[in-house]
A = this chain, B = another copy of it.
Amino acid sequence: MAQVIIHATVSLDGFMADKDGGSDWMFGFPVAPEDESLVRKVVVEIGAVVGGANKAQTIEDGEAPYGGGLQVPVYLMTHCAHEPVQKDGTTYTFVVDDLERAVELAKQDAGDRSVSLLGGSIARQCLEMGLVDEIQLHVVPILLGHGISLFAGLDRRIDLERVETAAYAGEAHLRYRVGPSAVA
């Protein structure tokens, strides 16, 4: 069955984007071929995506998840019913308020591949609901000080199991398992 993953590039202080939403800080440090192949290995395993309502506007603005490189079904949370959108070979399905259902639909689509959660709020909500199987972080060697945090606002304590730690150049790659038994 599909594994639900939080897959994010973060600064050492846990930000996914700087305070203006920018990501220029994700570049400009040494990268090894192994870094790229590790990221690619995670990305090719993604079979569906679930994103927050704020992603809907982004998509209308022409920004597809993962830079459009992933042609997989995308489920977006919304507060009002909205017909599915087909764009550049990707189907965007809108799910009204029921995150558990969005994740379930995405899992069905993903089959034996993974479901990637897009955005901090969705990631935290899914962690709190016990829906996350794995966390895969690519930690960039920088402290941003301010920005959009991945975990800030999480409202419960969650035990993890470290399953993989790797580093080749600037980034550190940290992979954790969140088992049902790991939810404290």
Contacts and interface: CB of A to CB of B under 8 A. Distances in A.
Given A161-B141, A171-B162, A12 B156 contact: no
Interface in A143-184: 143-146, 151-152, 154-162, 165-167, 169-172, 174, 176, 184
Contacts of A25: 157
A22 to B, nearest CB: 11
A14 interface: yes
Chain A interface size, under 10 / 10 to 19 / 20 to 34 / 35 or more: 35 or more
Contacts of A135: 12
B165 A165 contact: yes
A145 B141 contact: no
A32 to B, nearest CB: 11
A159 to B, nearest CB: 5
A13 interface: yes
A154 B144 CA distance: 8
Interface of A: 12-14, 18, 25, 29, 127, 135, 137, 139, 141-146, 151-152, 154-162, 165-167, 169-172, 174, 176, 184
